[in-house]
Structure 1
Amino acid sequence: MNTRTLGETAKVVTLRNNIIPESGDLVNALSAINSYLESKYQKEEFSGAVLVSKNNEILFNAGIGIANREHQIKCTHETKFRIGSITKQFTSMAIMMLSEQGFLSEGDRLAKFFPLCPYGESITIHHLLTHTSGIPNITQLQDFKKLMKEYTPLHISIELIMKLPLDFQPGSQFRYSNSGYLLLAYLIEMITGQSYEEFLIENIFSPLSMNSSGPDKYKEIILQRASGYEFDHKIGIVNSDFIDMSIASGGGNLLSTTEDLYKWELALTSNTLVSNKAMQRLFTDYGFGYGYGWFVKDELIYNKALKSVYHGGGIVGFKNRITRYLDEHVCIIVLNNLSTTDVDDVTNNIAKLIFQ
Structure 2
Amino acid sequence: MFLLLFCSTIDAQFQEKKIDSLITTEFNDPNGPGGAFMIAHKGKTIYRKAFGKANLELNVTMTPDNVFQIGSMTKQFTSVAVLMLEQQGKLNVNDLISKYIKDYPSGDKITIHHLLTHTSGIKDFTKMKTISTIAQKEMKPEMMVDFFKNEPVDFASGEKFEYNNSGYVVLGYIIEMVSGQTYEDFIKKNIFEKAGMTHSYYATDRHVIPKRAYGYHQKEHGFVNKTVINFSVPFSSGSLMSTVDDLLKWQKALNQNILLNPAETKKAFQKYKLNSGEEFTYGYGWHLKDINGSPDREHGGSIFGFKSMGVYIPGEDIYVIGLSNCDCHSPTEITRNMAKIALQSVKK
What range describes the TM-score normalised by the shorter chain of this pair? over 0.9
Q: 1:282 aligns with which of 259, 268, 289?
A: 268
Q: Deviations over 1:106-156 (max 9, x none)?
A: 100011111111211000000000000011101133321231122212110
The answer on 1:291 being equivalent to 2:278 is no
Partner of 1:146: 133
Residues 46 and 223 of structure 1: CA distance in aligned 2, closer, same or farther (over 3 Å): closer
Structure 2 equivalent of residue 225 of structure 1: 212
Question: Aligned letter for 1:313?
Answer: G
User: How far apart are residue 37 of structure 1 and its match?
Assistant: 2.4
- 180 and 49 in structure 1: CA distance in 2 versus 1, 3 angstrom threshold: same
Give 1:19's aligned residue: 3
Q: Which runs of 5+ in 1 are unaligned?
A: 1-14
Match of 1:28 in 2: 14
Tell me how far apart the structure 2 counterparts of residues 20 and 307 of structure 1 sit (CA, whole Å). 24
Distance in 2 (alpha carbons) for counterparts of 1:225 and 1:349 = 27
- SS of 1:41's equivalent in the other structure is coil
| Alignment CA distance shift 1:298-1:353 (3 Å) | closer
| Secondary structure at 2:38 match in 1 | strand
Query: Percent identity of the aligned residues?
Result: 35
Distance 1:291 1:170 in 2: 16
Matched length: 335
> Is 2:287–2:298's contact at 8 Å kept on the other side of the alignment?
yes
Q: 2:100 aligns with which of 109, 113, 132?
A: 113
- Contact 2:311 / 2:339 at 8 angstroms: preserved in 1? no
The unaligned stretches of length 5 or more in structure 2 are 273-278
Q: Aligned equivalents of 2:183 and 2:320: distance in 1?
A: 27
Q: For each residue in 1:170-212, what CA deviation from the matched residue of structure 2 results, as whole angstroms up to 9, or x when unmatched?
A: 0001111110110100101001111001001111101111011
**Which sits farther off after the overlay, 253-262 or 133-142?**
133-142
1:1-356 to 2 correspondences below 5 Å? 15=1, 19-21=3-5, 23-24=7-8, 25-42=11-28, 47-232=34-219, 234-286=220-272, 287-300=279-292, 305-356=293-344
Moved over 6 A (4+): none
Q: 1:219 to 1:139 in 2, by over 3 A?
A: same
Q: Report how far residue 298 of structure 1 moved.
A: 2.5
Q: Which SS does the other structure have where 1:168 is aligned? A: coil
Q: For residues 48 and 83 of structure 1, what CA distance do their matches in structure 2 show?
A: 12
What TM-score, normalized by structure 2, do the two folds share? 0.92
CA distance in 1, matches of 2:119, 2:58: 44
Q: How far apart, CA to CA, are the structure 2 residues paired with 1:149 and 1:76?
A: 30
Moved more, 334-343 or 246-255: 334-343
Cα distance in 2 for partners of 1:159, 1:348 equals 37
